[in-house]
Amino acid sequence: MTKPLSTKVENIKPSGIRKFFDLVSEMKDAISLGVGEPDFDTPWHIRDEGIYALEKGKTFYTSNSGLKALRVEISNYQKRTQGIDYDPMSEILVTVGGSEAIDIGLRALVNSGDEVIIPQPSYVSYLPCAILAGANPIVINLKEENNFKLTEEELLSAITDRTKLLILPFPNNPTGAILEKDDLEKIARICIEKDIYVMSDEIYSALTYKGEHISIASIEGMKERTILINGFSKAYAMTGWRLGYACGPSKIIKQMTKIHQFAIMCAPTTSQYAAIEALKNGDDDVTMMREAYNERRRFLMDEFKNMNLKCFEPFGAFYVFPCIKEFGMTSEEFAMKFLEEGRVAVVPGSAFGESGEGYLRISYAYSIENLKIAMERLKKFVDKLRN
């Protein structure tokens, strides 16, 4: 064949993480702090519900939007945690992970040339998905001096008359930053005034360590313009089940459902049954895991302090994002050298956007014992670089 493939797709850069992944996989003695998923197994009662669904032969398609019982539980969950009312019949769509919701949400909203504002550092898929949807992505480089929050000034300066949508990825992967009520209110005011949609990716909402997570959709005037994305992967340690959801105004959900219907049909049935159990009886598991993460977070922050490594204190997700600018290396060089000499894999901040340059993403979805060994190696490595 000589005919060219899609230029749009060919022009998309593969994830910067890939190259690193291949390297680490070769090194058997390396410790990885590179994963973006919980180290806990899915709680047993949730797995059991999945097994039960299989035993009972519940192996068929569900409705396109997802099992009604699951949508009702999602609605209850949003009501009890955020105080937002979503109609299970028209305002909720069950998707294959939060990732699918990001993709189809963008495709449902964007016309060719519309501008989509993407704060970075952030999850790797927003930018390519926006481009594939035909959008013109406008990146905001978040700053450590603002604790990697999105500020009013930054947002205002990125908005033009072509701005359609703001992606709001908090609690943030990779920085661990969160937005608090007053931060959200400022952003909400601007979005309402400038008439902009918001895609709020709240996949880490259950994992905050400074008060409860607040959704921007809960602020007056925002529900009608917000696609709230969440899922089961991080809160309930269910990454492999591939289950997420989008909540939003019915006119958007209706369009997203169309794409979902034709591209996916429905989210995995077994996972949907398990997810009902997660929402009904999983609160204690989430609390247990959150406390474990929080202990590790404090442990890492203390270790950084002891080795004089600059790191703003993150209050969300399960990542810390220390600054390594003092060593005069790019984050990729640092990560590579640390892997070779220190035998620990971390992810270069630059994999999450240009503004992640000079930082490392260190995941604490690992046992304390593992983290201890890794921190000893980091200390040794850093000491050597400084001398």
Partner 1 sequence: MRDRILSIIEKNSRIDLKELAIRLGAEEIDVANELAKLEQEGVICGYHTLINWEKTDIEKVTALIEVKVTPQRGQGFDRIAARIYNYPEVRDVYLISGGFDLLVTLEEKSLKEIAQFVSEKLSTLDSILSTGTHFILKKYKDHGTIIDEKTEDEREVITP
The footprint of partner 1 (CB under 8 A) covers 15, 17, 20-21, 24-25, 30, 32, 34-37, 39, 123-125, 173, 291, 294-296, 298-299, 302, 345, 347, 351, 368
Q: In what order do the strands lie in the sheet with 226-231?
A: 92-95, 244-247, 226-231, 197-201, 163-168, 115-120, 136-141
- Residue whose CB is less far from partner 1, 111 or 367: 367
Residue 238: CB minimum distance to partner 1, A: 13
- Residue whose CB is less far from partner 1, 151 or 294: 294
Residue 291: CB minimum distance to partner 1, A: 7
- Residue whose CB is less far from partner 1, 257 or 331: 331
Residue 355: CB minimum distance to partner 1, A: 16
Give the chain's radius of gyration (CA, Å): 21
Task: Count the Cβ atoms, other than its own, within 10 Å of residue 262.
Answer: 9
Residue 149: partners with Cβ closer than 8 Å, 6 or more residues away: 142, 170, 177, 179, 183
Residue 323: CB minimum distance to partner 1, A: 21
Whole-angstrom distance, CA of residue 307 vs CA of residue 341: 18
CA distances from residue 27 to 22, 30, 122, 138, 221 in whole angstroms, order as listed: 9, 6, 27, 38, 52
- Residue whose CB is less far from partner 1, 142 or 252: 142
Residue 273: CB minimum distance to partner 1, A: 23
- Residue whose CB is less far from partner 1, 77 or 366: 366
Residue 25: CB minimum distance to partner 1, A: 6
Report the DSSP pairing between strands 115-120 and 136-141: parallel
Whole-angstrom distance, CA of residue 97 vs CA of residue 305: 36
Helix (H) or strand (E) holding 128: helix 126-132
- Residue whose CB is less far from partner 1, 18 or 251: 18
